[in-house]
Amino acid sequence: MGYTSKFNYLGLGYECILFFLPYYNVNIYAIGLTFVKTITLFQLLNLKKMKFNTLLFTLTFCLSSFTFQADAQVQTPQLSPECDFKQTVGLTDVSISYSRPSMRGRVIFGNVVPYNEVWRLGANKNTTIEVSQEIYFNSDTLSKGTYALFTIPGKESWELVFYTESTNWGTPDKWDESKVALRLKSKVKPLKTAVQTLTIEIEDLNTAGANFSISWGRVKLSFPFQLMTKKQVVKSIDELMSGPTSSDYYRAAKYYLNEDIDHEKALVWINKAVDMRGVSAYWMTRVQAELFAANGRYKEAITSAQLSMKSASKEGDSNYVRLNEESIAKWIKMK
């Protein structure tokens, strides 16, 4: 085999390797080693007699020799591991996500974390808090939603900031005060024993509130919050004790109609729904008309259909108008 022929085949081998590389997670050493193996095999084999399929198999064999090595990656522990937790307080869920740096022999506040500057309250990506309902810090209200948490540490007191943009990484490049949902202040509580790792907790729980606390080093901050649990429970009880709503009766009646179950009972329910909601609810009087018809009461079915058609026409719902017209024409023949 001449030099040119060898060069062409080696060039083909190199191109084939480049073709396969996107399918493997490899490093430069592995690529070089595989290329050397490929060249060696090309020299040992009679390439003139080698078919393309055999060449492809050979390249695949070479690449597979380092697949295990390439896919195996060294894993090391994070210095600031992630922590995600959800705490239910009363009827409200409070979810917190943050990374937890440790002291590791360092002086934290006034050194690693400067005083009187905005700090992201953790490490890596933003620390976030999500509340499922409004919570109250005395006279200040934090609305339902997700917020990034920032602090401004001081020697005597800290400021806690709830920031509406929660997806950026760390402190915003340009602080936007309009995105500040709430600012709170708390005095520093010195600790006798240092807390080695940043700790955020929801503690001192009761059904009407809890404390949001931050501890690290010899510093602890507490931000008590309150909930409207009693009001929520009373509202829920009142709604339950007042009985089903018109929508409840309507959905139950419609289900029975669609599934062909006990039309007499369904008619009682839809009559209650219409009494509570009024004849302007044309979707309800439509079901009422159908249930009258299902019970063989065609005269009443036509009356309800006419009420439904009139209200639907007023609201511009041509579909309900058409359905009622068709039903009335059919039921007139069946009276």
The predicted-structure confidence for 57-94, as pLDDT tens digits, reads as follows: 555 555 555 444 445 688 888 889 899 999 999 999 99
Shared-domain flag, residues 92 and 224: yes
Shared-domain flag, residues 220 and 92: yes
- Report d(CA 311, CA 313) in Å as an integer: 5
The domain of 9 spans 3-71
Shared-domain flag, residues 227 and 247: no
Tens digit of each residue's pLDDT (9 = 90 or more) over 222-234: 999 999 988 888 8
> Bridge-partner residues for 212, per DSSP?
202, 223
- Please report the pLDDT score of residue 26 as a whole number: 44
**pLDDT at 49 > cutoff 50:** no
Shared-domain flag, residues 128 and 21: no
- Please report the pLDDT score of residue 316 as a whole number: 95
- The helix or strand, by DSSP H or E, that contains position 148, with its residue range, turns out to be strand 145-152
Shared-domain flag, residues 245 and 280: yes
Indicate the number of domains in the chain: 3
Look at 235 and 307; give whichever has higher pLDDT. 307
Single residue among 179, 209, 231 that ends a domain in this structure? 231
For residue 77, tell me if it sits in a domain: no
Query: In terms of pTM, does the model score above 0.75?
Result: no
Q: What's the N-to-C CA distance of the chain in angstroms?
A: 101
Shared-domain flag, residues 173 and 60: no
- Please report the pLDDT score of residue 168 as a whole number: 82
Shared-domain flag, residues 67 and 21: yes
- Report d(CA 200, CA 287) in Å as an integer: 55
Mean residue pLDDT of the chain comes to: 84
Look at 55 and 264; give whichever has higher pLDDT. 264
Shared-domain flag, residues 205 and 278: no
Single residue among 231, 253, 268 that ends a domain in this structure? 231
Shared-domain flag, residues 226 and 189: yes
- Two tokens, residue 76: 């090391």
